[in-house]
Amino acid sequence: ISVESGLRLALSLGELEMYYQPQVDVKTGRVMGAEALMRWNHPQRGFLGAGAFLPFAEESGLIIAMSDWMLEAVCHDLLAWNTLGDERPYLSINISPHYLDRGDFYDKLKSTLERYQIAPSQLEVEVTENICIRNPQAAIEQLHKLCQLGVRVAIDDFGTGYSSLAYLHRFPIHVLKIDRSFVMPIEDDSQQFPVVLAIISIAKGLGLKLVAEGVETEVQKRYLEQAGCQTFQGYYYHRPMQQSALMSLLGSQT
């Protein structure tokens, strides 16, 4: 069968699952929140990363139904995090341009948060610069509505997409995520990595929170920390994990 009908089936059979990758405050070592990453528990091939199937979902339009499912799944899981104590870790979700473009996205998100009684301030929405390719004005409007609701907006894969700087000052955003491709080359922290420093200085200049992605080594961590990065996501700390593992991790933090 085609990937598309396989995916349609996966959705109806409950083969999709949300994984969570913790984001750590480098000063305290505490998990402050997590990014939700979709996985397909494929009957033959095991757990597949989103990169292996989301392009087909986008192409076929199935991304809408899958994103609807994702919204429910993450809100359900987030409620469970809130039972662990007084802390309210934030949840960061990826939103594809197609989903953001839909007129009903905002209402869906708002009503789902209300139904689960989740504070919008506990949710972060990750978009890429590419949301501006088709209709920048519409995208900016959607982001403004999210902000007014109290949801934070993060630019994912920053610096790798379309028109990174042209729209930045017009976006209502709170967080910049430094893409893994900028972190990977940091192998020796006696060297300088000017592009990384430039991204950090952009974030500081605009008053944005910075999240470094794909941090795998002590050297990368040290360099980025010294350069002023506060929040880290990557294998150095944690791999994406199942809800049960995240619950144990959050529960073990006093």
Residues that bind Na ion (CB under 5 A): 156-157
Q: Phi and psi dihedrals of 59, rounded to 5?
A: -65, -40
Pairwise CA distance, residues 143 & 178, whole Å: 20
Question: Whose CA is closest to 238, among 19, 28, 29, 21?
Answer: 21
Q: Which does residue 123 bind out of ligand G, Mn ion, Na ion, none, counting CB within 5 to 8 angstroms by kind?
A: none
Pairwise CA distance, residues 189 & 218, whole Å: 10
Q: Which does residue 49 bind out of Na ion, Mn ion, ligand G, none, counting CB within 5 to 8 angstroms by kind?
A: ligand G
Nearer to Mn ion, 178 or 189 (CB): 178
The answer to the question of residue 46 lying near ligand G (CB under 6 A) is no
Residues 6+ apart with CB under 8 A from 23: 31, 32, 33, 34, 35, 92, 211, 231, 232, 233
Q: Tell me how far, at minimum, the Cβ of 31 lies from ligand G, in Å.
A: 14
Question: Whose CA is closest to 210, among 218, 198, 192?
Answer: 198
The answer to the question of residue 124 lying near Mn ion (CB under 5 A) is no
The answer to the question of residue 234 lying near ligand G (CB under 6 A) is yes
The count of chain residues that interact with Mn ion, using the rule CB under 5 A, is 3
Question: Taking contact as CB under 5 A, which single stretch among the options 94-102, 110-118, 127-135, 230-238 is the one that binds Mn ion?
Answer: 94-102
Question: Taking contact as CB under 5 A, which single stretch among the options 23-31, 56-64, 125-133, 216-224 is the one that binds Mn ion?
Answer: 125-133
Residues 6+ apart with CB under 8 A from 88: 81, 82, 119, 122
Q: Which residue do the tokens 């870790």 mark?
A: 89
Among 8, 216, 242, 249, binds ligand G (CB under 6 A): 216
The answer to the question of residue 126 lying near Mn ion (CB under 5 A) is yes
Among 21, 23, 122, 231, binds ligand G (CB under 6 A): 21
- Under DSSP, the state recorded for 179 is P
Q: Tell me how far, at minimum, the Cβ of 213 lies from Mn ion, in Å.
A: 7
Question: Taking contact as CB under 5 A, which single stretch among the options 52-60, 70-78, 97-105, 123-131 is the one that binds Mn ion?
Answer: 123-131
Exposed/middle/buried for residue 92 (C-beta within 10 Å: 0-12, 13-18, 19+): buried
Q: Tell me how far, at minimum, the Cβ of 177 lies from Na ion, in Å.
A: 5
Pairwise CA distance, residues 207 & 217, whole Å: 27
Nearer to Na ion, 77 or 156 (CB): 156
Q: Which does residue 29 bind out of ligand G, Na ion, Mn ion, none, counting CB within 5 to 8 angstroms by kind?
A: none
Among 5, 107, 111, 235, binds ligand G (CB under 6 A): 235
Pairwise CA distance, residues 178 & 237, whole Å: 16
Pairwise CA distance, residues 33 & 121, whole Å: 12
Pairwise CA distance, residues 188 & 151, whole Å: 37
Interface residues with Mn ion (CB under 5 A)?
94, 126, 156
Interface residues with ligand G (CB under 6 A)?
21, 37-38, 49-51, 54, 70, 94-96, 156-157, 180, 213-216, 234-235, 240
